[in-house]
Structure 1
Amino acid sequence: MTNALPSRGDIDEAIRSLGLATTASELQGALLGWLAGGGSADGNWLAAVMADPALPQAASDSPLQRLRDHAVEQLDARNFALDLLVADDDASLADRSGSLFDWCRGFLGGFGLSAGANPPLSEEGGEALADIAKLAAATPQDDGDEEDEAALVEIAEFIRVAALLLHGDCVLGPRHRRSMH
């Protein structure tokens, strides 16, 4: 990886400076959803992902552009790695699960904007999207035990795989079919 994932703090600061009503986790989820659904990563990506054509392009050296560069690089790498910009392991269970659910809400929005009403999903892709929708509607719990901690790790791993599966269905599959013709 040549493009490192910016910190949540850097992304949060960039979000505040633009006056956006989102979190770093939700923005990264929206960006990855947008890209997984076939959306363009061009200079207008922020306006497209936020569904606000008045938003400016992210500066080439900004944390938002580094976020985009990292997302594009991870999806193109095909090594099944996907970094989620969620609360750190030392944060409370409520903060970590809340940021993961924010990420899912963002992903659904971005995916829906780019993929449309009838994306070309496999059966597994359809199930994965439905599961992400359930997680997006979830609310974080205030405390938990080791089982809850383990479940959150499993949920995060599921989300990584689901996002990559959806990208495969909507972007890589069609790209592969076009290259064969």
Structure 2
Amino acid sequence: MSESLPSLSDVEQACREAELATPAAELHGGLCGWLAGGGDAAGNWLAQVMVDDTLPAPAEGSVLARLQIATRAQFEDRDFGLVLLGPGDDASLAERSGALFDWCRGFVGAFGLAAGGDPRLSAEGEEALADIARLARATAQDEGDEEDEAALAEIEEFVRVAALLLHGDCALAARHRNSLN
């Protein structure tokens, strides 16, 4: 099993302390998009994802540094252990779906920053990115039923697998190409 992410509340607190006007789920989506798009995993990811060169790199051992370490390890996990940061199952459908859509917004933006305007994507990768972009434009419903709960679970799993697919298309494929040259 891969590394565990810090809790949503810890990441939210770290965002407030760093004076980031970004929800924790969106920041994690941005980190995932940055890594999936082939962004520098060792550099100051926070400044890159937030497009703010004045932001310092997260301090070693801090919540945001642990978020990066755990996320990077999850992308590299051979058991596909990527976890999307968001509220637990006890949160309302609106909170959970809203966080998922925030995560998608962060992912799409940072993926574009890392991968560039015309990344090398498989047909499945192109479709996956388009679907995540559609989810990034969605808004949460106030309430729902068991069918909506099941649909959200399926969408979360799709997004998780899509992020891993895009990571394979961009980050892993680029590494493979570089090792062949």
Q: How many residues align?
A: 181
**What is the TM-score when the length of structure 2 is the normalising length?**
0.96
8 Å CA contact retained: 2:125, 2:169: yes
Q: What is the aligned partner in structure 2 of residue 105 from structure 1?
A: 105
Q: CA RMSD in A?
A: 1.1
Task: List gaps (5 residues or longer) in structure 2.
Answer: none
Aligned to 1:144: 144
Aligned twin of 2:85: 85
Q: Quick one: structure 1 residues 162 and 9, their matched pair in 2 at CA, closer, same or farther if it must change by over 3 Å?
A: same
Contact 1:3 1:66 survives alignment (8 Å):
no
- For the 8 Å contact 1:43–1:58, the answer to whether it is kept is no
TM score, norm. by length of structure 1: 0.96
Q: Within 5 A, what are the aligned runs for 1:1-181?
A: 1=1, 3-181=3-181
Unmatched runs of 5 consecutive residues or more in structure 1 = none
Distance 2:51 2:38 in 1: 15
CA distance in 2, matches of 1:2, 1:127: 27
Report percent identity of matched pairs.
63
- Counterparts of 1:87 and 1:121, CA distance in 2: 31
Shift of 1:2: 6.3
Superposed CA offset, 1:78-134 (max 9, x none): 321211101110101000000000000000011011001000000000000000001
Q: Secondary structure at the match of 1:82?
A: coil
Q: State the alpha-carbon separation in 2 of the partners of residues 125 and 41 from structure 1.
A: 21
Runs of 4+ in 1 over 3 A off after TM superposition: none
1-structure distance, mates of 2:2, 2:79: 14
